[in-house]
Amino acid sequence: MYKISKNIFNWDNMSIIEKINIITSVNNKKCEIQNKVFKILKDVEKHGDVALKKYTLKFDKIKLNDFFVSRKRLKKSSLLVKNDFKKAILMSFNNIQKFHKLQKIKDIDVNISSGIRCQRITTPIDSIGLYIPGGITPLISTVLMLSIPAKIAGCSNIVLCSPPPIKNEMLYAAKICGIKKILQLGGAQAIAALAFGTNTIHKVNKIFGPGNAFVTEAKIQARELVSGLSIDMPAGPSEVLIIADEFSNPEFIAADLLAQAEHDYNSQVMLLTSHKNLAYDVLFYLNKQIKNLSRKEYIISSWKNSKIIVTSSLEESFNISNQYAPEHLILHLQNARKYLSQIKNAGSIFIGSWTPESAGDYITGTNHVLPTYGYAKTYSGLSVLDFQKLITVQEISKISLKDLANNISILSKAEGLDAHDYAVSVRMNSWKFK
């Protein structure tokens, strides 16, 4: 018998330590995970393909002869998925593409003053790796979320990897996005392969994609171990925080909490409301709805990390939310849009009772690769810009350098950098004696 425990707390009755624990996303097994991930990374770095085959057999129970999905199988995927799936994927593709195309930024080219020209140009990151969570619940939609902005940005060398066996639906999604290199690898070992490279796999410059705690830790460690390697963001187990008022529908709220809780054993869901009766109504619907769901074990496990908090006011709810910085923030509020100005930290916001987080996961057009663990305080959700670099350019005419020379000399001498000053004066002297 699966039952959602009470887990309802009154914010004003909690100690400071209890409050800090609630608003801080903590992985209690972090040290253990760090050690395991480090061993996997170093093993793959040293033994390459041999280590990858070993870990794939160990974790995925599959013996691989070739890490890459054949072009024949990729092409055949079109024949092995249902037409209604194709239609749904196409709608998602079009919406995501439409929203992300608008994210392209304009190059800058400006004459600062006569003879001084400055530019900012964009260039795609050359080689990138896209990680797609797989296994029991393959995130097919993440293929679109990563591939579409990568293509819009103009990335030329793209490799996508996901744990085997890779479903035909995922291959079809990759195919319509124009992805041709697909690796049958998952977990920390997949991140290691992308980061270090092996005899058969080329290393990449940047790694993208969400994953479990092991994948997230592997991305963080690989960034430190490999010079020049970058990652998109720390995106681990999923989170949702809901702020609700007396006008909210408790049945809708319960459904939204369960939808996020089913993602992962370590997912975290939160409800903040100043109305105690609503909190108990939501608890009632949580227990009613879980009976009909298939991923009960995941939900019960993630509920241990989760809370329903009764606050003294809507303002207090927003203060707590901003401290927590949720990956997903749902506003189950009347006239919800008017509260946007009160939100400082969130990965993505869902406005009103008719905007379930599920819609953002699949089809609205926004990106569902978002920062977790409180990183929404400093990171943004994935965008086209994450797949590009911004390069500045400057050009000075001979006459303009003469006008700037004295000020450059003053500033460089103030910093004690003689060679900076000489780099200008040698040019001035060259011109003077011609």
17 Cβ neighbours under 8 A, 6+ residues apart: none
Closest CA to 332 of 262, 241, 238, 263: 241
CA nearest 372: which of 263, 268, 239, 261? 239
| End-to-end Cα separation, the chain, in angstroms | 93
Cα(232)–Cα(234) distance, rounded to whole angstroms?
7
Nearest CA among 215, 210, 152 for reference residue 347: 210
DSSP 387-417: GEEEEEEEEE-HHHHHHHHHHHHHHHHHTT-
Q: Is 368 known as a binding-site position?
A: no
CB 176 within 8 A of CB 151: no
Q: Which residues of 384-394 are buried (b: 16+ CB within 10 A; e: fewer)?
A: bebbbeeeeee
Q: What CA dihedral angle connects 44, 166, 221 and 267, to 10 degrees? A: -140
Q: Is 147 annotated as a binding residue?
A: no
Q: Is 256 annotated as a binding residue?
A: no
In angstroms, the CA 33 to CA 56 distance is 18
Residue 131 assigned as binding residue: yes
Q: Which of 100, 328, 332, 368 is catalytic?
A: 328
Q: Confirm if 200 and 109 have CB atoms less than 8 A apart.
A: no
Q: Is 328 annotated as a binding residue?
A: yes
- 32 as an active site residue: the answer is no
Residue 420 among known ligand-binding residues: yes
Set 45, 217, 239, 327: catalytic member = 327
Answer whether 384's CB lies under 8 Å from 152's CB. yes
Is 415 annotated as a binding-site member? Answer: yes
Q: How many residues does the chain have?
A: 434
Q: What angle do CA 268, 269, 270 make, to 5 degrees?
A: 130
Based on the residue annotation, tell me whether 327 is a catalytic residue of this protein. yes
Handedness of CA 243, 372, 147, 63 (dihedral sign): negative
Active-site residues: which are they? 327-328
Q: Summarize the annotated binding site for NAD(+) as residue ranges.
A: 131, 189, 212
Q: Summarize the annotated binding site for Zn(2+) as residue ranges.
A: 260, 263, 361, 420
Q: Summarize the annotated binding site as residue ranges.
A: 131, 189, 212, 238, 260, 263, 328, 361, 415, 420
